[in-house]
Structure 1
Amino acid sequence: MEYALGAVAALVTIVLVARFAPKLGVAAPLILIVVGTLFSFVPFAPSIEVDPEWILVGVLPPLLYSAAVNVPLMDFRRNLKAITGLSVVLVILSTAVSGYLLYLIFPDLNLAAAFALGAVISPPDAVAATSIGKRVGLPGRLVTMLEGESLVNDASALVLLRSAIAATAGAVSFWGVVGDFLFAVVVAIGVGIVIGFATVAVRSHLDNPVLTTSISFAVPFIAYLPAEELGASGVLSVVVAGLVTGHRSATRFTAQDRISERLNWRTVQFILENGVFLLIGTEVATLVAEVENDDLGVGSAVLIGLLMTVVLIVVRFAFMVPLIGILRRDARRARVRGVYLDQALDRLRDVPAQDARTRERASRIGRMLARRRADVDSLTAEGLGWRGGVVLGWAGMRGVVTLAAAQTLPRDLPYRPQLILVAVTVAIATLLLQGGTLPALVSRLGITGASAERERADLAALLDEISSTGLATVSDTALEGEEPVDPAILERVRSESVLRAAAVRDTGEDGGPHDVYVRLRRRVIEAERAALIEARSLGVHRSRSLTDAEHLLDQEEARLFRRDSRH
């Protein structure tokens, strides 16, 4: 009964905080940490201590999956160099620097154990990035980098942690760590790809949104568990499976499947991510009590945690200097490459199409060149300067992975309670300091995403593009093999494609005006969706516009399905 009451109280608290946080001008996760911390010190409050396995296995996979399915694969690919640098190189660097300092600070701590805690506090958290970073109106490329980093760096940190813990017993060598890391990454990617394709194939044949969404709740664990059993990174496998699922959902799932999955996963993500922040606060009193019973006091552990926070921020900003330099160099090279691509496209247009085979080959080459030209446009239009580097440097909040991983440290490790409190201090300090001031920093630097006018213009251009393709499928005379269509119905089909007008009002028996209208409208939507998928493959339009257009098509197709099922 206590657990049930606690769960209800937590859920009500989460909803209330999320409802009133915007009016206070403070992100809900930050308020939840404070509320949880205050609750933990209330007299007679129950001591809350959650097994870290519940977080690492039960909470982290669905959180990572729900974030990964919403990251456009096109954006992830375009920013792969930056994401790899932030999620792998920076994690290794942060682990080495912070771990060595901890080794110097704690006299009885060996180097391997110090690196283990360094790996714990090194990765910025996926929950923190998605809960705070996206709310401050950052440009799309910065958001993609932060999301991509937070999705992948957990795998890097947890693999390093596992190797460091093994090294505390003298079980591994340097090259053993390198081999373990590469094995964990390669196998995880393979498992994630296989699970992603396999589950999408199975779900696409269920033909029932409830069943499809139900299976989607199991996909994160289906990807996580086999990878872990093979000794690979389960979290990376989940991310890859999520990216594959999100990319293929546009072609393999129905509109009803996508709408149902989006709504249900949004609810799950909201509860889990905010629940984790509340949980962070409720465990503070327990940790403080454990440290008070040891030689090194609470104050010393908190000060060390604050020192590590400063060190991690400095290391992150130092890493931004070469990273931004490399990205700006890539943007300059992209401008030069763009000129050559334009010349190649011009030459291709001048090549005479002699036969069908030549036209098909020219079409494939043209699509490849157009895709590369769109990549160039993305790199040059959203190039990163020093202001973007400052935001990336300040957006390194820690959270759920840091806390859960800290509690997996061996029980016989010297200073274990203090090390866990150090990790908790780093997590809370970065969330309150960096997370709390990030909106003000973004505003002060004048960094904004695309204007509302630009986004509307891009979305309108995309809708015009796919609508023209859809309308081309509507004959002026008849549906294939049937009697001529009422001109009024044809005009209505055309006008709804252009204006996205209100709900269908026609009714009638099978074969009547409503039936003809629905069949024509579905034909148009199918063609529009094919054109949208083609536009996505080329990458000419903004990812947000592509997503918004897909949602519009899904809503209209679902509306037609519901009305048609009643006739």
Structure 2
Amino acid sequence: MEYALAAVAAIVTIVLVARFAPKLGVAAPLILIVVGSLFSFLPFAPSVEVDPEWILVGVLPPLLYSAAVNVPLMDFRRNLKAITGLSVVLVILSTAVSGYLLYLIFPDLDLAAAFALGAVISPPDAVAATAIGKRLGLPGRLVTVLEGEGLVNDATALVLLRSAIAATAGVVSLWGFVGDFVFAVAVAIGVGIAIGFATVAVRARLNNPVLNTSISFAVPFIAYLPAEELGASGVLSVVVAGLVAGHRSATRLTAQDRISERLNWRTVQFILENGVFLLMGTEVATLVVQVEDDDLGVGSAVLIGLLMTAVLIVVRFAFMVPLIASLRRDARRAQTRGVYLDQALDRLRGAPTDDPRVRARASRISRMLARRRADVDSLTAEGLGWRGGVVLGWSGMRGVVTLAAAQSLPRDLPYRPQLILVAFTVALVTLLLQGGTLPALIGRLRVTGASAERERDDLASLLEEISTTGLATVSDTALEGEEPVEPTILTRVRAESVLRAAAVRETGGDGGAHAVYVRLRRRVLEAERAALIEARSLGVHRSTSLAKAEHLLDQEEARLYRHDGGH
């Protein structure tokens, strides 16, 4: 009964905070941490200490999967250099610097154990940062980099933590650590790709949105558990499976499947994301009591936590300098490549295409060049400048993974309660300090994404493009193999595609359906969806426009499905 009451109280608290947080101008996770912390010191509050396995195995996989399926694979690929730098290189650097300082501070702590805590406090949790960034309209590329970093850096940190804990027993050499890291990453990627393809193939055969969504809830664990059993990174496997599933769902799953999955996973993600921050706060009093029972006091542990927070911030900003310089250099080189790509495309268009084989080959090369040209346009249009680098540097908030990983430290480790409190201090201070001031910093630097007008125009252009392809499939006289179609039906079918694009800029309408109309509209929608997938593969349009267009097609297809009795 007590657990049920606690769960109900937690959900009500989360909903209330999420409802009123926007009015206060503060991200909900920050308020939840404060609420949980205040509650933990009340006289009647129970002592809260959650088994870290519940977080690392029960909460982290679905959280990462729900985020990964919504990250466009195209954006992830285009920003792979920045994401890899922040989620791998920076985490390793932060682990080394903070671990060595902790080794100097704690006299009875060996180097491997110090590096273990360094790995614990190194990975930022991008939940609060991306929530703030999306709400304030950060450029899409900045949000993608933050999301990508948050997805991958946990895997890096947990692999480092595992190797460091093994090293405390003297069973890992330097080359053994490097080999273990490479093995964990390679196997995790392989498992994630296999699970992503396999689960989407299975779900595509179910033809039932409820069953489909139910299976999707198991996918994070299906990806996580085998990878862990093989000694690889289960977290990275989940991320890869999510990226693959999100990319392939557009072609393999039905509109009803996507709508159902999208709504249900948004609910799960909302509860888990906010619940873990509330849980973080409720553990404060328990941590303080544990430290008070030991030699090194709470004040000393908190001061060390504040020192480590400052060190991690400095290391992150120092890393931003070469990273942003490298990305700016890439953008300048991309402009030069764009000229060569345009010249190559012009030569290809002017080449003779009488031979069908030559024409097919020219078409493949043209698509490849067009995709690369779109990549160049993306790099030059949304380059990461120094102001964006400052926002990235100040977005290194730590979160629940830091706390859960800290509590998984060996129980016989010297200073274990103090080390956990150090990790909690880092997480709490970065969330409140950086998370609380990030909106003001973004406003002061005037870092904004594309204007609403530009977003609207790009979406309308995409809809017009796919509508043209879709309408080309409608015969002027009849449905194939059927009786002639009334001109009014043809006019209505064509008008709805045209009005949909116009509605983005101005306003539009909706209508009913009968059997002939439904068949015609479905034919148009199938062609439009094929054109949308082609546009996604080329990468010419913004990922936000592609996602909105897919949602519009899904909604119309689902409406036609209902009007046609579900057939």
Q: Deviations over 1:435-469 (max 9, x none)?
A: 11111100000000110000000000000000000
1:503-522 matched pairs, under 5 angstroms: 503-506=510-513, 514-522=514-522
- Identify the residue that residue 154 of structure 2 maps to in structure 1: 154
- Identify the residue that residue 359 of structure 2 maps to in structure 1: 359
Q: Deviations over 1:382-423 (max 9, x none)?
A: 111110110010000100110000000000100000000000
1:144 is aligned to 2:144? yes
Give the TM-score taking structure 1 as reference length. Answer: 0.98
Taking the aligned partners of 1:179 and 1:242, their CA distance within structure 2 comes to 26
Deviation at 1:566? 7.1
- Identify the residue that residue 242 of structure 2 maps to in structure 1: 242
Corresponding residue SS for 1:49: coil
Taking the aligned partners of 1:442 and 1:126, their CA distance within structure 2 comes to 16
1:310-329 matched pairs, under 5 angstroms: 310-329=310-329
Deviation at 1:154? 0.4
1:462-481 matched pairs, under 5 angstroms: 462-481=462-481
Taking the aligned partners of 1:27 and 1:525, their CA distance within structure 2 comes to 39
Taking the aligned partners of 1:119 and 1:140, their CA distance within structure 2 comes to 29
Aligned AA for 1:461? S
Is contact 2:256–2:558 with CA below 8 Å preserved after alignment?
yes
Corresponding residue SS for 1:540: coil
1:397 is aligned to 2:404? no
Deviation at 1:136? 2.8
- Identify the residue that residue 297 of structure 2 maps to in structure 1: 297
Aligned AA for 1:257? D
- Identify the residue that residue 102 of structure 1 maps to in structure 2: 102
- Structure 1 range deviating more: 379-388 or 417-426: 379-388
Is contact 2:99–2:117 with CA below 8 Å preserved after alignment?
yes
Aligned AA for 1:27? A
Taking the aligned partners of 2:132 and 2:240, their CA distance within structure 1 comes to 23
Deviation at 1:504? 3.1
1:443 is aligned to 2:443? yes
- Identify the residue that residue 199 of structure 2 maps to in structure 1: 199
Give the TM-score taking structure 2 as reference length. Answer: 0.98
Corresponding residue SS for 1:353: coil
Is contact 2:374–2:540 with CA below 8 Å preserved after alignment?
yes
- Identify the residue that residue 224 of structure 1 maps to in structure 2: 224
Taking the aligned partners of 2:135 and 2:30, their CA distance within structure 1 comes to 13
Is contact 1:29–1:131 with CA below 8 Å preserved after alignment?
no
Percent sequence identity over matched residues? 87
Corresponding residue SS for 2:384: coil
| RMSD (Å), alpha carbons | 0.9
Taking the aligned partners of 1:526 and 1:566, their CA distance within structure 2 comes to 17
- Identify the residue that residue 376 of structure 1 maps to in structure 2: 376
1:77-226 matched pairs, under 5 angstroms: 77-226=77-226
Deviation at 1:474? 0.4
Taking the aligned partners of 1:477 and 1:132, their CA distance within structure 2 comes to 53
Q: Deviations over 1:49-103 (max 9, x none)?
A: 1100000000000000000000000000001011110000000000000000001
Taking the aligned partners of 1:135 and 1:281, their CA distance within structure 2 comes to 24
Taking the aligned partners of 1:276 and 1:72, their CA distance within structure 2 comes to 25
1:65-80 matched pairs, under 5 angstroms: 65-80=65-80
Is contact 1:391–1:441 with CA below 8 Å preserved after alignment?
yes
- Structure 1 range deviating more: 133-142 or 291-300: 133-142
Is contact 2:305–2:421 with CA below 8 Å preserved after alignment?
yes
Corresponding residue SS for 1:217: helix
- Identify the residue that residue 280 of structure 2 maps to in structure 1: 280
Corresponding residue SS for 1:565: coil
Taking the aligned partners of 1:485 and 1:134, their CA distance within structure 2 comes to 47
Taking the aligned partners of 1:185 and 1:150, their CA distance within structure 2 comes to 16
Corresponding residue SS for 1:123: coil
Is contact 2:123–2:153 with CA below 8 Å preserved after alignment?
yes
Q: Deviations over 1:482-531 (max 9, x none)?
A: 1111000000000101113544335xxxxxxx100000000000000000
- Identify the residue that residue 335 of structure 1 maps to in structure 2: 335
Is contact 2:126–2:396 with CA below 8 Å preserved after alignment?
no
Corresponding residue SS for 2:232: coil
Question: Structure 1's 545 and 75: CA in aligned 2 closer, same or farther, altered over 3 A?
Answer: same
